Structure 1
Amino acid sequence: MNTTITQELIDAQETLQQTQSHLAHQNIDAAIDQLTPLTPEIISRQATINIGTIGHVAHGKSTLVRAISGVNTVRHYKERFRNITIKLGYANAKLYKCPTCPPPECYKSFGSEKEDNPKCTTAGCDSNLLLIRHVSFVDCPGHDVLMATMLAGAAVMDSALLLIAGNQPCPQPQTSEHLAAVEIMKLQHIIIVQNKIDIIIKDPSAANKQFEDIKKFVQGSIAEGAPIIPISAQMKYNVDFVVDYICRIPVPLRDFTSAPQMIVIRSFDVNKPGEDAETLRGGVAGGTILKGVLKIGDEIEIRPGMIRKDSKSGQVTWKQIYSKITSLKADENHLMYAVPGGLIGVGLKVDPFITRSDRLVGQIIGHPDKMPDVVVEIEAQYYLLRRLLGVKNEGDKTKSKVQKLKVDETLMINIGSTSLGGKVISFNSDQVRIQFLNPVCANEGEKIAMSRRIDRNFRLIGWGQIKKGYTSKSKKAGTQ
């Protein structure tokens, strides 16, 4: 009798939890219909625009992010030891405006945990600040061998800060390469930051000369006409001007109603070594939602999922991962639902081994049966650069000229945040067929970046757009 009563109580509790969850989802769905990326309820808790920091190594990208957000994106031991960014860095910041202070002093920035209407920090001002933007920074590495990581970050950017050190000639190799990469992604809003101005402040003519060099460098590119802001990120000089211009960037139109699709740029095992089984937490995926809304309790699918290669036949197979969302976080802010734009962390009900050490990077998260196809081969319209960017022999026209594609050559292909090998099966003047070494989840119309191994490193040689995808490999190869 007691066993029967106990089971009835358990069943009743489960029914109550399911009912509460259903009612909560109904309330969230009703609220979502009224939301925009600048709704106070949204930007209070979550960033809604991604700002990339790009440029040559050691030009101050991470320092500027720290000056604005208060967050050090250099987190890993190897990064701190070498004082460079290796993996994609990330940080959120709230940007405010004082209604009484004159510009640019009226613009303030704080970390994501700051309240919505704090007091102005300017001496003698007693006004409350107004929350204007909540942004995520995607801090890209500037080293030439980490170009693939930079391209992964470019896939989720809505805008970019191009940093150029004032004490070095312009352009440096990766300044050119990074600008070409964001041009491929068709970013519309670039802000050029002339950093380390404090080093050359005693020689105004050098600063003015570099200012003219920068204007000449970006002429004819997507950054032509962009503002050029002289700053010292280390001393936080003129950083308020940068915040001013970031607040002027319009938030892109967001699709809240379609089936959700999230691109993964980092993944983690958040458990400490020796964690007890009772307190073990599932894996975490970090990235940005491209469209739709994810909610706690959603049943989700991860594609392509688990990828395996047969040691004898060499055949590659994959199997989607099905899971459930257990938590949503934007920095330390816990969310009931997450909307497009900004970087979020998604707690999943999966073995943390699956997400350890960025193993899910490049995967797509969404609702089951509402995801892009998994493809192993594509047809794409492509365009090659006229010359190589970011190489030492850039001035030698014969060596820096981009050579035509070759049948059976292996390129590095970037699709979204995925970097993978692809073999050229066939091509003509503007169409190429590429066979991937691993499966990838991709949409028709999606952009790709193509890199070729040159002097032991992969260099950007062109870009393209997927016209058709195939779920199985073709048997024929050859130039069309």
Structure 2
Amino acid sequence: MDHGKTTLIQALTGVWTSVHSQELKRGITIRVGYSDAAFYKCPSCEPPLGYSTSVKCPNCSGESELSRVVSFVDSPGHESLMANMLSGAALMDGALLVVAANKKVPQLQTEEHLLALQTLGISQVVVVQNKVDLLSYKEALASYSDTAKFLKAGGMSKLPVIPVSAQAGLNMDALIHATETAIPTPERDGSKDPVMHVLRSFDVNKPGTPIQKIKGGVIGGSLTQGAFKVGDEIEIKPGVLNEKKKSYEPMRTEIVSLGTGAGMVEEIRPGGLVAIGTRLDPSMTSGDSFIGSVIGRPDTLPENSTKSEMKVSLFDRAVGSGGEDKVASIQTGEQLRLSIGTLPALCKVLKSGKGEIEVELRRPVCLFRGSNVAISRRMPDRWRLIGAGTVG
């Protein structure tokens, strides 16, 4: 269902993030897209007037000051693509939850995505009531009221709700102001060992490129702590499958370039999305083959794991089922899907007790103790979010 979030991101950043052929055909976001925007604030105008993405203030034509650069991840909104959405959300400090003013509130996917954000520990959210230009003033107020009632019922009445029209560029100043106010940049410790979660990987070489001009594979994602510099040696886990040993082996390579929304840089720190150019064979990184991997300095990341214990908390009802499917307790032997960082991972439950489970993962994963995990169960023909877990 189209709530206009990709159009909204285009209005804020000038980038259309749905670029894959099936996305254009079906009109929905399938893979995670991303783009950057610079937010400016005019010192002469009262908020929210004067907030924009332009150096020149659209309100008074005066000179604006750079507030900050923000990276957007356009995650799939369609409820059947929940795993992709969780992968994108896992990197974010906050979220814009887009609802369509011309649709009934809440849609099933709205409930599911809001609960998923809570599951992942993302509490800084701005609700965007899009497509108000398609309604009369009275209808838009009724939709706003329904949205506020929905949030209040879920104990989230303090979340700001901003009516906009992404297509017409209406009320973008208020949205930027709300984003700047409700989703501040968190404090991060740059002295810790660097950790980067991979969201994309690709081959940037065009067909027919001469061998001597071929560039190494590129890996995209977000640094959550520490810093990387050009020339650093890095380790990628869980790595690649060794066919002979039938096991995954971590990979090591060198950073040859660092790209951000602001251009090429020599060093990156937490905040925003980054593309790391490596010396890896580009065929290895093509087609997003490294999604879910973790990058750090050699010998600093956790060992690959195929088993994990975790504390779990289940919802009363499966999200997205219309409240019809009551969540039964997790049973030993059943199959689940875990969203771990940017990786959707299938697993089998080895043990199940009160509030705790032990699982065996289908493939090795780089697990961090204390990290949040979203838990989904197949009910009956698709995966539904049923609860959350914390890695022990």
What TM-score do the two structures reach when normalised by structure 2? 0.96
Question: In the aligned structure 1, how far is the partner of 2:261 from the partner of 2:207?
Answer: 23
Deviation of the 1:145 alpha carbon: 1.6
CA-based RMSD: 1.5
In the alignment, structure 1 residue 189 sits paired with structure 2 residue 136: no
Deviation of the 1:133 alpha carbon: 1.3
Deviation of the 1:122 alpha carbon: 4.1
1:226 counterpart letter in structure 2 = L
Structure 2: any 5+ residue segments left out of the alignment? none
Identity among equivalent pairs (%): 39
Superposition pairs of residues 54-453 of structure 1, within 5 angstroms: 57-110=1-54, 118-122=55-59, 125=61, 127-200=62-135, 202=136, 204-219=137-152, 221=154, 223-248=156-181, 249-308=183-242, 316-331=246-261, 333-391=263-321, 394-396=322-324, 400-453=325-378
CA contact (8 A) 1:362 1:418 kept: yes
1:157 counterpart letter in structure 2 = M
1:297 counterpart letter in structure 2 = G
Q: Deviations over 1:330-368 (max 9, x none)?
A: 136001001101001000110011111010000011100
Q: Secondary structure at the match of 1:379?
A: strand
CA contact (8 A) 1:373 1:443 kept: no
Q: Secondary structure at the match of 1:387?
A: strand
Q: Deviations over 1:13-69 (max 9, x none)?
A: xxxxxxxxxxxxxxxxxxxxxxxxxxxxxxxxxxxxxxxxxxxx3101111111011
CA contact (8 A) 1:104 1:240 kept: yes
Structure 1: any 5+ residue segments left out of the alignment? 1-56, 111-117, 468-480
CA contact (8 A) 1:282 1:347 kept: yes
Count residues with an aligned counterpart. Answer: 391
Question: In the aligned structure 2, how far is the partner of 1:419 from the partner of 1:213?
Answer: 33
Q: Which residue of 2 aligns with 1:463?
A: 388
Higher helix share: 1
Higher strand share: 2
Question: In the aligned structure 2, how far is the partner of 1:270 from the partner of 1:458?
Answer: 33
1:293 counterpart letter in structure 2 = A
CA contact (8 A) 1:329 1:344 kept: yes
Q: Deviations over 1:282-305 (max 9, x none)?
A: 000000001000100001100110
Question: In the aligned structure 2, how far is the partner of 1:364 from the partner of 1:388?
Answer: 30
Question: In the aligned structure 1, how far is the partner of 2:15 from the partner of 2:315?
Answer: 36
Question: In the aligned structure 1, how far is the partner of 2:279 from the partner of 2:253?
Answer: 6
Question: In the aligned structure 2, how far is the partner of 1:210 from the partner of 1:136?
Answer: 29
CA contact (8 A) 1:190 1:223 kept: no
Deviation of the 1:178 alpha carbon: 0.3
Question: In the aligned structure 1, how far is the partner of 2:208 from the partner of 2:343?
Answer: 32
Q: Secondary structure at the match of 2:47?
A: coil
